[in-house]
């Protein structure tokens, strides 16, 4: 399933080139679709409003399980 995001093909190719990744042929197309879908799904996480949620300390979580 393809989803749309603001992640352009040019951005993908620039990041791939900068990272030393040189996908070729149909593999490049499949990888672009995969990365674009991940970027679109991650955008949903950034849009979640957590302003009313207090941050939880890892130490607090650890000790709560041990009691």
**Interval 19-32: pLDDT, tens:** 877 656 667 888 88
The CA distance from 32 to 38, in Å, is 10
Query: Domain extents for the chain?
Result: 9-66
pLDDT band at 8 (very low <50, low <70, confident <90, very high): confident
Angle at 18 between CA 12 and CA 21, to 5 degrees: 75
Cα dihedral sign, 38-19-30-13: positive
pTM (whole model) above 0.85: no
Q: Is the pLDDT of residue 66 over 60?
A: no
Residue with the two structure tokens 């749309």: 4
**Interval 11-60: pLDDT, tens:** 888 888 888 776 566 678 888 888 888 888 888 888 889 889 888 776 65
């Amino acid at each position: 399933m393809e989803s749309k995001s603001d992640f352009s093909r040019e951005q993908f190719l620039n990041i791939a080139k900068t990272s030393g990744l040189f996908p070729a042929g149909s593999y490049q197309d499949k990888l672009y679709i995969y990365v674009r879908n991940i970027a679109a799904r991650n955008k949903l996480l950034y849009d979640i409003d957590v302003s009313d949620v207090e941050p939880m300390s890892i130490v607090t979580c650890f000790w709560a399980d041990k009691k």
